[in-house]
Structure 1
Amino acid sequence: MGNADRNESDVIFILLGFSDYPDLQIPLFLLFLVIYIITVVGNLGMIMIIRINPKLHTPMYFFLSHLSFLDFCYSTTITPKLLQILVVEDRSISFPPCVTQYCFVVICVVAEGFLLTVMAYDRFVAICNPLLYIIVMSQKRCIMMMTGVYTWGIISTIIFVYSLVARSFAGTNIINNFFCEYSAVISVSISDNYVTETIFFILANFNTFFTLIIVLTSYLFIFITILKMNSASGRYKAFSTCASHLTGVSIFFGTILFLYCMPSSKSSWLLVRISTVFYTVVIPMLNPLIYSLRNKDVKETIRKLMQLPVGLFNG
């Protein structure tokens, strides 16, 4: 029987999850359930708010709605399975669902990295070239940018997934994580993983550092422009519009750099699992909060929807 046939029919992965901490299974289940509910409500709510408020039909919120969509998608790809393995004894997953889960995660994570880069460019144009903003960030160009973001996410996924399905595995494999994370799956492969890991390392670093260079360059010009402003209120307003995005970028790229671009970080599988929880479960919950708490238009829309007093959102 060929390797491909065996992969599809015989290979089983056992997701270790957090089973080495039996006393924490129920508390972790409740914690992740609450986080997932907040994630779903927060991200779908953000998309709805942006759609129903005409004041939010701008490039910045167009990109933010896609960020919420991506956060919802990869949280939904991972968290339900995590919740399942915390409360059931059967932690197994066959090869096709494992690859499918990994495929969706990679598309979302790579696309989110490039989307954060596009959002940095949007802030650069808005602050450094405000008179040209409407022309440069036209609806057509925004759609083209998002098409490029999703296209590169799919291309990267094809490369990553091919390097995974080309591996050989034994019948039953213990995955030292709570989902089919690349390094955990590759670690149980019986093939020579040098070429595969090299391809992954190069592409992961390219995606991360290419996007980071654009983000840092954009913000370098933004800060130079802000420092040249004569008005203190103008500087504050410019900084405040960038604060949320900078917070999201720092959390997302900091976690990715630690997890995938520093080989030494894999010396502890507990650290890998904690880092993976952070960027797949926690960050999708944080993003709607980060981008809404300091945004008057979003808070005003929420207040109108809930018909609550203005004072509840102030302070």
Structure 2
Amino acid sequence: MAKEMQKTSMFIERNPGDCENGDICKNLDDDGRVKRTGTWVTASAHIITAVIGSGVLSLAWAIAQLGWVAGPAVLMAFSFITYFTSTLLADCYRAPDPVHGKRNYTYMDVVRAYLGGRKVQLCGLAQYVNLLGVTIGYTITASISMVAVKRSNCFHKHGHHVKCQTSNNPFMVIFACIQIVLSQIPNFHNLSWLSIIAAIMSFAYSSIGLGLSIAKVAGGEHARTTLTGVTVGVDVSGSEKIWRTFQAIGDIAFAYAYSTVLVEIQDTIKSSPPENKSMKRATTLGVSTTTIFYVLCGLVGYAAFGNEAPGNFLTGFGFYEPFWLIDFANICIAIHLIGAYQVFAQPLFGFI
């Protein structure tokens, strides 16, 4: 009964007469829902958790396809596009006025308020298919990282020439069981602690990958790099070069995508200062931090591996030693993806 009353109280529309003694409304926001307590710091954690995925470790491969000129240019271009569009979307949280307007709780509410009509169905289909695809991808990637821990120990024990094949399936089941437990978190507003842990994990494994790359470059190993990336006739054929170029651009674009959960993140922020100002501040911190890590990992990784950069230099074993550090980095990836899964799954749960 208490849970039902609490759930109902989240959606009570507040009347002026209800707040005469101040007892009822002191814990409610202007829309009658439980008072939001999020800040630009927690929003930044959500953003970093959503944006910095294990894909950061594959950016060396993307830069290898594009080269020293186009690679950094594409990274910076998508960084600017992400920041600019995110600030626009942050102003759409309240409509029609970005400070005093009516709240839009989800991305679909924003589409409904500003576009309406058939566009609501089309954008809804695009959003939820995207969210579903991301959660499936995170399940697979997390299992690959778990497998990498087992393979790393096998390589250390038996040598790098051994195949050390391990099935992903048991680890996907383990990941799913963990998500079943975490999916009992009531809503997006209660995810802050999980996002902060996940953000710390993303910094950890990105830093490890970056550190190992720097160590490899400093060790005197000179990998072959070029201004235009992999060379036609040497590394790849002409058709492979075209295909890989578009794939690399797509990987970088996907690495920055978090617009599908931006409004849900903004709905966790308290109203003073105005939500759009806090969200823009969080976006500035989140996107700039992400871009710095992306540029460093991509460029230093390319310098370390050159045109033969692996798809992921931790799970793809660009490094074998120190094996315990590789294990720790892959565990960090798995923990990060456990949290990131919830960031993308909660809006899906809310819709259902």
> TM (normalized to structure 1)?
0.30
Query: Relative CO higher for 1 or 2, CA cutoff 8 Å, sep ≥ 6?
Result: 2
Larger radius of gyration: 2
